Amino acid sequence: MLLLGIDVGTTGAKATVFDEDGNQKGYSFQEYGILSPQKGYAEQDAEQVWNITKNVIKKAVEGIGANVTALSISVQGDAIIPINRNREALSNAQLGMDYRGIKESEFCDVTIGGHALFEQTGMRPHPMNSLIKILWTKNNQPELYEKAYKFVTYADFILGKLGSDDIVIDYTMASRTMAFDIQKRQWSSDVLDKLGIDISKLATPVPSGTLIGKINQVLATELVINPEVLLVSGGHDQTCAALGAGIIKDNMALDSHGTAEVISTAFTSPQLSDIMYSSYYPCYIHTVPNMYFTFALNHTGGILLKWFIENFCSEDTYLAKQNGEQIYNYMINRMPEGPSSAMVLPHFNGSGTPTCDMKAKGAFLGLTMSTSRYDLAKAIIESLSYEVRYNLETMKKIGINIDQLRAVGGGARSPIGLQNKADILGIPVSSLKIREAACLGASMLAGAAIGVYSNLQDAANIVQISKTYYPNEQQNKTYNNKYCTYLQLYDTLKDIQYTI
């Protein structure tokens, strides 16, 4: 018996087939693009994304499609697609990174109030929110708004294409829209009425892991997959990745270290405090029943080291290639042991949570004539962990205490990097045997829905730790002193940076 997990991300789609023990049996990935017709816009051809999703499903199940019994889906957050009754996209998707709705966001802040929205929906007004994108369409493209049968996220869009009985949105995605009452677990008529948004244009909310139909028979033939495959509602990619990493109880967090770095965690009661609000942490619903979810974000994760290497390490890139070595491993293996003599403020694309200062800029500090590019590369890696620690300490003030971290993504491939993170954070950091955590989480939802697992807690037993890195006591003490200095950098440099 096989389960299919699909992950529709911002720049590509993945499909992974797992057996019930979590072993990978099939995999496919294909990229797609982002359209930027003007400043502040970020769009995507949703029908192209659907066709690519079909391609990766077909390749992943090749030769084993007859044994797939159920599937579920993990998707990028906040994108909005207007569709007709035939489930066809009427225009490009507005992606989460599309910021055209600044005026609409400000209108919501004034009309309803940021705190009032946050207390009810767990989301503060922001152009990335799905509801803002629908409101922008209503204000600026009224004909499209009226023509649209539904406004859907990629979750409802892809499952609708696959053959779901109704157009449904899972609770994790609904609770990211800024239109969903996270305690009543229903669309907020209060918010929608104040903004003049027709509730009938939204999908039907259901819990993650709900059976919602069977695959379209014509599509099953096209994909060469079992025509009895059951469709199961999925979740936001961060929540699915957390599930796939076994983040199903308090005091655990997932470090997804890719282009950006996201620290995700779960808790049993909604966190809607002033600190939560001022730190820009959302509060939404987890894939796990009766749990809530938040994440911290650093915009410059792996992309910062990539930028540094591409601009300042051409000789190393050449030598690594000559040696048949991956450039990141090459650089990490040449970094100094212990803390770097330099420091970096990694706000090269503004700061992430908890300050979310888009005017912030990056900086290299403590340079001397003896500073090498390996010192600077080490300082970059350290700075990213300092940002993680800053967020974990902020969450602790809210009552979210993290005592273990699990890591996925590109940053989880380096043992040296993971040990350094443990030394800076002062808590154990673990890598996982299955790196495609979002796909695994989606497959776990599918398996629990059809009885392969008794519940998601049972499903989480298939998550396997590859290795755990424990803090080195002496290194942790040294890094504690460096971290105290790091905490002063943002406030010290802020006013100067604003003038540059």
* Residue extent(s) of CATH 3.30.420.40 domains in the chain: 2-233, 246-500
C-alpha span between 300 and 294 (Å, rounded): 19
> Does CATH place domain 2-233 in 3.30.420.40?
yes
DSSP state of 498: H
pLDDT of residue 301: 87
pLDDT of residue 302: 87
Convert the pLDDT of each residue in 172-199 to its tens digit: 999 999 999 999 999 999 999 999 999 9
* Dihedral (Cα; 261, 263, 264, 266), 10-degree rounding: 180
CA 163 to each of CA 79, 186, 397, 479: distance values in angstroms, whole numbers, following the listed order = 20, 24, 45, 53
First-last CA distance in the chain? 60
pLDDT of residue 422: 98
Convert the pLDDT of each residue in 431-442 to its tens digit: 999 889 999 999
pLDDT of residue 325: 94
Distance of CA 430 to the CA centre of its chain: 19
pLDDT < 70: residue spans in the chain: none
pLDDT of residue 411: 82
Q: What is the CATH number of domain 246-500?
A: 3.30.420.40
Asked if 32 contacts 44 with a C-beta cutoff of 8 angstroms, the reply is yes
pLDDT of residue 412: 86
pLDDT of residue 259: 81
Closest to 263 (Cα-Cα) out of 290, 235, 288, 241: 241
pLDDT of residue 410: 83
pLDDT of residue 91: 97
DSSP 243-265: HHTT--STTEEEEEESSSEEEEE
pLDDT of residue 283: 98
